[in-house]
Amino acid sequence: MRSLNEFNCNNWKSKFYFIFLLRSLSRYDQKTQLRGVNSMEGLVTQIQGLSGTDSDVLSLQNLLKQADDSLHAESTRLLPFLDQLDPAKHSLGYLYFLEAFTAGPVTNEHASSSVLMIARFISSCVAEQIRLAPDKFISVCKRFKDQVLLLEEPLRGVAPMLTAIRKLQSSSEHLTALHPEFLLLCLLSKCYKTGLSILEEDIFEVDQPRDLFLFCYYGGMISIGHKRFRKALELLHNVVTAPMPTINAIAVEAFKKYILVSLIHNGQFPTNLPKYASSVAQRNLKNLCQPYIELANSYSNGKIADLETYVEANKDKFESDNNLGLVKQAVSSMYKRNIQRLTQTYLTLSLQDIANRVQLNSPKEAEMHVLQMIKDGEIYATINQKDGMVRFLEDPEQYKTCEMIERIDSSIQRLMTVSKKLNVMDELMSCDPLYLAKAGRERQRFDFDDFDNVPQRYNI
Amino acid sequence: MASSSSSGLTFKLHPLVIVNISDHYTRVKSQMNSHPLTSTSTTVNGVEHQQQAPRVYGCVIGIQSGRTVEIFNSFELLYDPSTNSLDRTFLEKKQELYKKVFPHFYILGCPLYVLLNPTINPAQKDLPVTIYESELHIIDGIPQLIFVRSSYTIETVEAERISVDHVAHLKPSDGGSAATQLAAHLTSIHSAIKMLNSRIRVLHHYLVGMQKGDIPCENSLLRQVSSLLRRLPAIESEKFQDDFLMEYNDTLLISYLAMFTNCSSTMNELVDKFNTAYDRHSRRGGRTAFI
């Protein structure tokens, strides 16, 4: 307060001071602008010089980190410098420049050229160099995705994004932040097959939990699109049972689809989440997806008419979640369930009988359903067309072929690798200080007959 | 001592006795190795050992019903080398104790003598245990009690069999610790197959060398190899193939199941630990078994 009084009193002095400050600042600005361009050129030459060996690249990285702010300041004027650099040889330097260049807002006209530039960079860059600056690479690729979506051509982004993932991953078991972006592009461009290829890989390392949630959710949707319901169930299950300290929206949406897919694939929905699901999920998910739970309940009663009326009544809710298609598939899967139930009671049945029991309209429809199920391998039966009888058979697998041996053998091998990894994780967990603290506390309470001194706290 | 018994008594020996005796002997011997003492040797109504090795003594107890003598158990006796006699009070105390536990048994004393030879003779197939009984024989006109060797059978109860089996496998083997029978069996099969594999490899190497011309051709060896090969495969029929593959599949499925169970239990423990460590509202109060 006193200083302000002083300011008012010494008005003319402060004004003078202020003007002096402004002028010096403007001079400074001019100097920095000049220095900016000069430093850019200097930086470019340094990049060109230091991109040879690994040690050079590391020192280059330090230089680039220091110059990062000035790069961002000059973002609009970096284009000519980009042309001087070769993305294949000077990947790291190019990456820094590119990231600063794309940081600013991009218009539609620029988007197209920028997309081309980034795609070319991704395909020609060197993996080792860009792995030194993964965040920059990820942000460049994310902006690439945004621009591709802006242009409404998601298909253009699918292949480059896949290349980007392969270059960023340290191993095929590593889930990067680019995986969900890639799957999103596949979904939007309806390019499901490419997406499926990446879903087949087992994941053991995750950078961010949000990546895993999104990846599995999108992966589930892609698998549903390809009618691979078993894979979809597995992926959605991962989302729903992943550790989460608080409930998140991705898990809620995934849970809705999970209920529907499990009805389609298994014919039933397990009412309780397994014990490895987080307690947050176990308590809250069901409340947030009430209409779907009731759908599952009415499904389990086995009456198609009731199910259809329920669906009609709640059509809007399902539609707003974009799940109406899945719901309709679930309803039609009810027929399959009922036919499967028949195989457990009858050995032979006429098509008319099947139609009556399963509430189908005609024996022809029943025949179509049964044929489809035989083709999909869901039941084993033979249809005698002369008298319209269906005979239900046992699983013809005798387990005495060499192919079966190979299948079991490969499963055992996979199981052995998983078992080794689990043991490693188990050991890591046992040494985790958080775990030891809590375990020590519980143990102390219950060891009445154990008279040795149990430590109260593990002070680490 | 006479060659065979003619008294008509049948003897039944329980393996517990043998284990007891050998255990006592081993203990004494190892104790002797730690404190070097002169080896003693005396005879008693119990066990006798070779010269230079310590002799241990004990009593056998059992039941005699008619002509059948069944030796159930034995216990050690304290021997005093200075006075060359057994500790009487100890004997009486032990006898009383055993009487309480096994009221039917009584010391099979005078007519009986069990001998265990601790030196291991690998050629010998039978147990180095012999039973002698005392008989009245006329030798040189004087009636004398001498010990006569008699035959015996080993009889066990189920519980004994388990403990003896366990003891038999407790001795450390030179390779790994093949504690269970199955592991020992599989290890032996594995080593056999390894040996077979190395031999075949030697033959193969030799044949390749012969083919290349490095080694001069030896027809007799070639004939032997070809006759060996012609003996395989031993059985070639569809039924065999079927059964063989089915059994192979079954074994694979069982090991698959075992691996699955193993993996699931590890996963279960891991999940429990994870929930304890990181889940804020995990249920408390349940006593979980973790180590």
B164-184 mean pLDDT: 61
Of A14-28, B60-74, B142-156, the range with the highest mean pLDDT is B60-74
Q: Which residue has the tokens 């279960």?
A: B268
> Which of A247, A273, A406, A412 to mutate: most B Cβ within 10 Å?
A412
The answer for residues whose C-beta is within 8 angstroms of residue A322's C-beta and 6 or more apart is none
Which residues are paired to B147 by β-bridges?
B134
Kindly state whether B248 is in contact with chain A, defined as any CB-CB distance less than 8 angstroms: yes
Residues of chain B positioned with their CB less than 8 A from the CB of A438:
276-277
Kindly state whether B240 is in contact with chain A, defined as any CB-CB distance less than 8 angstroms: no
B18-44 mean pLDDT: 66
Q: Which of B245, B263, B282 sits opposite A279 (nearest CB)?
A: B282
Cβ atoms within 10 A of the Cβ of A247, count? 17
Torsion sign, CA atoms A372, A377, A381, A382: positive
Contacts by residues A202-207 (CB-CB < 8 Å, ≥ 24 positions apart): A202/A173, A203/A173, A203/A174, A203/A175, A204/A173, A204/A174, A204/A421, A205/A170, A205/A171, A205/A173, A205/A174, A205/A175, A206/A175, A207/A174, A207/A175, A207/A176, A207/A177
pLDDT mean across residues, chain A: 82
Chain B, nearest residue to A417 by Cα: B263
Closest CA to A218 of A204, A231, A205: A231
- A and B: number of Cβ contacts within 8 A: 85
Kindly state whether B263 is in contact with chain A, defined as any CB-CB distance less than 8 angstroms: yes
Closest CA to B241 of A399, A401, A396: A401
Provide residues of A within 8 Å CB-CB of chain B. 243, 245, 275-276, 278-280, 398-402, 404-405, 408-409, 411-412, 415-416, 418-419, 422-423, 425-426, 429-430, 432, 434-435, 438-439, 442, 446
Kindly state whether B276 is in contact with chain A, defined as any CB-CB distance less than 8 angstroms: yes
Question: What's residue B106's pLDDT?
Answer: 67
Chain A, nearest residue to B249 by Cα: A405
- The answer to whether B273 contacts A426, with C-beta atoms less than 8 Å apart, is yes
Residue B59 or A371, more confident: A371
B62 found inside a domain: yes
Q: Which two tokens stand for residue A200?
A: 């087949």
pLDDT above 70 (res A16): no
CA separation for the pair A292, A314 (Å, rounded): 10
CA separation for the pair A428, A407 (Å, rounded): 32
CA separation for the pair A77, A36 (Å, rounded): 10
B143 found inside a domain: yes
B182-210 mean pLDDT: 89
Strands B152-154 and B10-13: parallel
Question: What's residue B197's pLDDT?
Answer: 95
Chain B, nearest residue to A443 by Cα: B287
CA A128-A131-A134 angle, to 5 degrees, is 165
Question: What's residue A7's pLDDT?
Answer: 46
A212-233 mean pLDDT: 91
Question: What's residue A1's pLDDT?
Answer: 46
Chain B, nearest residue to A283 by Cα: B281
Q: What is the pLDDT of residues A311-360, one digit of tens each?
A: 888 888 888 888 888 888 888 888 888 888 888 888 888 888 888 888 88
Question: What's residue B174's pLDDT?
Answer: 43
pLDDT above 80 (res B84): no
pLDDT above 90 (res A15): no
Of A86-100, A249-263, B80-94, the range with the highest mean pLDDT is A249-263
Q: Which of B248, B263, B273 sits opposite A430 (nearest CB)?
A: B273
pLDDT above 90 (res A413): yes
Residue B28: HSE in the Cβ half-sphere, 13 Å Cα cutoff: 23
Residue A340 or B120, more confident: A340
A183-193 mean pLDDT: 89
CA separation for the pair B267, B160 (Å, rounded): 39
CA separation for the pair B82, A398 (Å, rounded): 78
pLDDT above 80 (res B253): yes
CA separation for the pair A215, A222 (Å, rounded): 10
CA separation for the pair B248, B233 (Å, rounded): 17
Q: Which of B248, B259, B273 sits opposite A415 (nearest CB)?
A: B259
* Predicted confidence band of residue A29 (pLDDT cuts 50, 70, 90): low
pLDDT above 50 (res A211): yes
Question: What's residue B41's pLDDT?
Answer: 35
CA separation for the pair A156, A185 (Å, rounded): 9
Question: What's residue A232's pLDDT?
Answer: 92
Chain B, nearest residue to A426 by Cα: B270
Q: Which of A6-10, A169-173, B93-97 has the lowest mean pLDDT?
A: A6-10
pLDDT above 70 (res B217): yes
B245 found inside a domain: no
B11-19 mean pLDDT: 81
A237-245 mean pLDDT: 88
Do A120 and A87 form a contact (C-beta atoms < 8 A)?
yes
Residues of chain B positioned with their CB less than 8 A from the CB of A429:
270, 273-274, 277
Check whether the bond before B233 is cis (ω within 30° of 0): yes
Question: What's residue A287's pLDDT?
Answer: 86
B272 found inside a domain: no
The one-letter amino acid at B120:
I
CATH number reported for the structural domain that contains residue B138 in this entry:
3.40.140.10
Residues of chain B positioned with their CB less than 8 A from the CB of A426:
266, 269-270, 273
Backbone angles phi, psi at B154, to 5 degrees: -95, 135
Distance from CA of A233 to the nearest CA of B (A): 20
The CA-atom distances, in angstroms, between A82 and each of A90, A96, A114, A129 are 10, 10, 12, 17
Share of chain A above pLDDT 70, in %: 87
Question: What's residue B201's pLDDT?
Answer: 94
> Which of B250, B265, B275 to mutate: most A Cβ within 10 Å?
B275
B60 found inside a domain: yes
Question: What's residue B257's pLDDT?
Answer: 95
B1 found inside a domain: no
> Which of A397, A415, A420 to mutate: most B Cβ within 10 Å?
A415
SS3 B116: strand
Q: What is the pLDDT of residues A151-165, one digit of tens each?
A: 888 888 899 899 999
Chain B, nearest residue to A243 by Cα: B279
Residues of chain B positioned with their CB less than 8 A from the CB of A415:
256, 259-260, 263
Distance from CA of B263 to the nearest CA of A (A): 5
SS3 B113: strand
Number of independent structural domains in chain B:
1
* Predicted confidence band of residue B173 (pLDDT cuts 50, 70, 90): very low
Question: What's residue B202's pLDDT?
Answer: 92
What number is the ipTM of this complex?
Answer: 0.71
Residues of chain B positioned with their CB less than 8 A from the CB of A434:
277-278
* Predicted confidence band of residue B48 (pLDDT cuts 50, 70, 90): very low
B98 found inside a domain: yes
Residue A404 or A4, more confident: A404
SS3 B182: helix
Question: What's residue B37's pLDDT?
Answer: 44
Type and span of the H or E element at A122: helix A108-124
B94-119 mean pLDDT: 69
What's the pTM?
0.64
B183 found inside a domain: no
Q: What is the pLDDT of residues A168-179, one digit of tens each?
A: 888 888 888 999
Closest CA to A155 of A112, A107, A188, A122: A188
Kindly state whether B256 is in contact with chain A, defined as any CB-CB distance less than 8 angstroms: yes
Cβ atoms within 10 A of the Cβ of B140, count? 5
Question: What's residue A236's pLDDT?
Answer: 92
pLDDT above 50 (res A249): yes
- The answer to whether B267 contacts A429, with C-beta atoms less than 8 Å apart, is no
Chain A, nearest residue to B260 by Cα: A415
- The answer to whether A439 contacts B276, with C-beta atoms less than 8 Å apart, is yes
Q: Which two tokens stand for residue A66?
A: 């220091």
Domain interval for residue B23: 10-31+54-155
